Structure 1
Amino acid sequence: MIIQTINCDFLIEESGRTNGCISVYSDSLDEIQRLFGSLEIERFDRTDWKYKVCTCKQDLANALILMVKEINYSDFTQSRFQQV
């Protein structure tokens, strides 16, 4: 799953390492540190995903809740969601 924010993109996928572990990749060290700062952040050798953390589903859920709380709903207009 890819999540795009104003500051960066995140790729979230199941980790092959440990059962229940989720891998979260990002192109922004600042944002991955902000959301998962207590976890070990690995440098990853891909051009589009430079940083990676392995986390549990609960920590991922907490980060997603934080992202939703940061949405500026005043930026939404009705016309953006109407189909042409």
Structure 2
Amino acid sequence: KPSAALYMFPRLDPKVYPIEDDRQFFMQVLRETRVMLVQGSGFNHADNQHFRIVFLPHEDDLREAIGRIAKFLERYRTRFA
């Protein structure tokens, strides 16, 4: 049983990812990738460009999840560029 966790709180460039509603955006991420991320507004962050990743899962699971997120973001850039 883990006694601690490590988090990362990356920011998406608003020029590349024009997100108006971060909650809706990350629900779309969940629906399309089956990877759950928590949007910055869930932590009272002022802008809507941040999200949280937890580094608790096994390394292989993290690689898979990050790969899915990367593919989603690539498709998003293509759609909204």
- In terms of fraction of residues, the more strand-rich structure is 1
TM-score by length of 2: 0.34
Larger Rg: 1
Structure with greater contact order relative to length (CA < 8 Å, sep ≥ 6): 2
- In terms of fraction of residues, the more helix-rich structure is 2
TM-score by length of 1: 0.33
